[in-house]
Amino acid sequence: MTPRRHTHRVPVSCIPAAVRVARLLTLLLALSACDAAAVNNPYAGRAVPTPVSVSGARQYARVSAGFFHSCAVTTNGEGWCWGSNEYLQLGAASTPPRCESFSCSRTPLRVAGALAWSDIAAGVTSTCALTTNGRAYCWGGGYPGVRTLLGDSTTVSSQTPVRVQTDSTFIAITVGGSHSCALTAGGTAMCWGENQFGQLGDGTATSSTTPVVVGSAVRFASISASLSTTCAVAVGGVGYCWGSNRWGQIGVGEVPYNSFGLSERRPREISGDRRWTQLATGHEHTCGITTDGAALCWGLNENAGQLGDGTTVSHRGVPTPVSGGRTYDGITAGAAAACAHTPANELYCWGSNYFGGLGNGQTQSVGVNRPVKNIGGAFRGPDASRNHSMGLGSSHGCAIKTDGSVSCWGDAFYGQTGDR
Condensed to tens digits (0 to 9), the pLDDT of residues 346-400 reads 999 999 999 999 999 999 888 999 999 999 989 999 887 667 899 999 999 999 9
**CA distance linking residue 224 with residue 333, whole number of Å:** 10
Grouping H, G, I as helix, E, B as strand and the rest as coil, residue 75 is coil
Condensed to tens digits (0 to 9), the pLDDT of residues 291-343 reads 999 999 999 999 799 999 999 999 999 999 999 999 999 999 999 999 999 99
State the DSSP H helix or E strand holding residue 391, giving kind and residue range, or none if neither. strand 390-392
Condensed to tens digits (0 to 9), the pLDDT of residues 149-185 reads 899 999 999 999 999 999 999 999 999 999 999 999 9
Condensed to tens digits (0 to 9), the pLDDT of residues 219-247 reads 999 999 999 999 999 999 999 999 999 99
Domain membership of residue 287 (yes or no) is: yes
Mean pLDDT of the chain: 89
Condensed to tens digits (0 to 9), the pLDDT of residues 256-271 reads 999 999 999 999 999 9
Domain boundaries, position 325:
17-411
Q: Alpha carbon 73 to chain centroid distance? A: 16
**CA distance linking residue 108 with residue 106, whole number of Å:** 7
What's the CATH code of the domain at 234? 2.130.10.30
Q: What is the pLDDT of residue 30?
A: 46
Beta bridge partners of 298: 286
Q: Alpha carbon 128 to chain centroid distance? A: 11
**CA distance linking residue 112 with residue 116, whole number of Å:** 11
Asked if 306 and 367 touch (Cβ cutoff 8 Å), the reply is yes
Q: What is the pLDDT of residue 289?
A: 97
Task: List CB contacts of 8: < 8 A, sequence separation 6 or more.
Answer: 88, 95, 142, 157, 159
Condensed to tens digits (0 to 9), the pLDDT of residues 30-73 reads 444 444 333 455 556 789 999 999 999 999 999 999 999 999 99
Domain membership of residue 198 (yes or no) is: yes
In angstroms, the Cα distances linking 237 to 232, 317, 318, 352 are 9, 20, 17, 29
Asked if 200 and 17 touch (Cβ cutoff 8 Å), the reply is no
Helix spans in 12-52 (H): 17-32
Asked if 51 and 408 touch (Cβ cutoff 8 Å), the reply is yes
In angstroms, the Cα distances linking 152 to 148, 162, 166, 344, 398 are 11, 7, 9, 42, 29
Number of domains the chain is built from: 1
Q: What is the pLDDT of residue 41?
A: 55
Determine if residue 113 is left, alpha or beta; phi over 0 gives left, psi from -120 to 50 gives alpha, anything else beta. Answer: left
Condensed to tens digits (0 to 9), the pLDDT of residues 189-218 reads 999 999 999 999 999 999 999 999 999 899
**CA distance linking residue 170 with residue 255, whole number of Å:** 35
Dihedral sign, CA of 291, 317, 194, 111? positive
State the DSSP H helix or E strand holding residue 153, giving kind and residue range, or none if neither. none
Q: Going by DSSP bridges, is the β-strand pair 285-290/295-300 parallel, antiparallel, or unpaired?
A: antiparallel
**CA distance linking residue 88 with residue 81, whole number of Å:** 11
Residue 367 exposure: Cα atoms within 13 Å on the Cβ side: 31
